[in-house]
Amino acid sequence: MRNMEVKKALGLYFVMGTPNSGSQDPLAIVEAALRGGITCFQLREKGSNALEGDALLGFAKKCQALCRLYRVPFIINDDVDLALAINADGVHVGQDDEQADSVRQRIGPDKWLGVSTHNAQEVQLAQSIGADYVGLGPIYPTSTKLDASAVVGTTLVKEIHTAFPDMPIVAIGGITLATTGSIIQAGADGVAVVSAIASAKDPQYAASDLSKTIHSLLE
């Protein structure tokens, strides 16, 4: 049941922090993305001029309130203390972040746990510690994450989907409207994007276009 709920939420997964908003108002981008049909939102406040302390807490609460309004899960990247402080719906961690098994213990069984992975071994480990979904990437080159690891392509999506058919998979890294189809066809439950929405001239339109493409392929 939860597995199906998670798979559904991964469809169009928007990841953003204030450093990704360029000259636009970050909260306006989040709201536009929600209006356009994103199915999950992850606050990933990283990079230069990232908010901290009370400013981060305030921004996170505003994002959470918007996500609640649109009934979209609100996930926090890496910052378990923040996720617990505001009672977020889940936490997403990378391989270099706090060990996923200690995160699961801290957040308890009810919050969603997502883990970034790059190969079958990491997916196996994520599954064994109770991850609700795995992120696979970077699928294509990306300039959004400066320390992204080597590009994995859609081949890895196919491989992981075949080896772990029940594990919800979201692909990330350099994904655009043009490449969304091949990722879903490779077996991903959804795509996670930063710039395809945050850097779009019209984020609502961009989200809506992605959403239509994804849902036409998943249904």
The residues annotated with a catalytic role in the active site are: 44, 116, 145
CB of 1 to ligand 3NM, least distance (A): 27
Check binding of 193 to ligand 3NM (CB under 6 A). yes
Q: Which residues contact 74 (CB under 8 A, 6 or more apart)?
A: 41, 43, 63, 64, 67, 68, 88, 89, 90
Gap between the Cα atoms of 203 and 38, Å rounded: 11
Contact between 203 and ligand 3NM by CB under 6 A: the answer reads: no
3 state SS of 202: coil
CB 175 within 8 A of CB 210: no
Site for ligand 3NM contains 151 (CB under 6 A) = no
- From 21-29, 33-41, 121-129, 167-175, give the range in contact with ligand 3NM by CB under 6 A: 167-175
Looking at residues 36 to 75 of the shown chain, list those that interact with ligand 3NM (rule: CB under 6 A): 44
Between 6 and 16, name the residue whose CB sits nearer to ligand 3NM.
16
Q: Give the C-alpha separation, 184 to 171, whole Å.
A: 9
Beta bridge partners of 14: 41, 193
Q: Kindly state whether residue 18 participates in binding ligand 3NM, applying the rule CB under 6 A.
A: no
Touching ligand 3NM, residues 72-111 (CB under 6 A): none
26 binds ligand 3NM (CB under 6 A): no
As measured in angstroms, the least distance from the Cβ of 215 to ligand 3NM is: 19
DSSP code of residue 121: H
- Residue 169, interface with ligand 3NM (CB under 6 A)? no
Q: Does 142 sit near ligand 3NM (CB under 6 A)?
A: yes
Phi, then psi, of 132 in degrees rounded to 5? -85, -25
Does residue 194 touch ligand 3NM according to CB under 6 A? yes
Residue 204 CA to residue 30 CA, distance in Å, equals 9
Question: 162 with 123: CB under 8 angstroms?
Answer: no
Q: Using CA atoms, how far apart are residues 199 and 50, in angstroms rounded to an integer?
A: 17
Indicate which single residue of 11, 114, 174, 203 sits in contact with ligand 3NM (rule: CB under 6 A): 174
Can you give the binding site for ligand 3NM, defined by CB under 6 A?
Answer: 15, 44, 116, 135, 137-138, 142, 144-145, 148, 172-175, 193-196
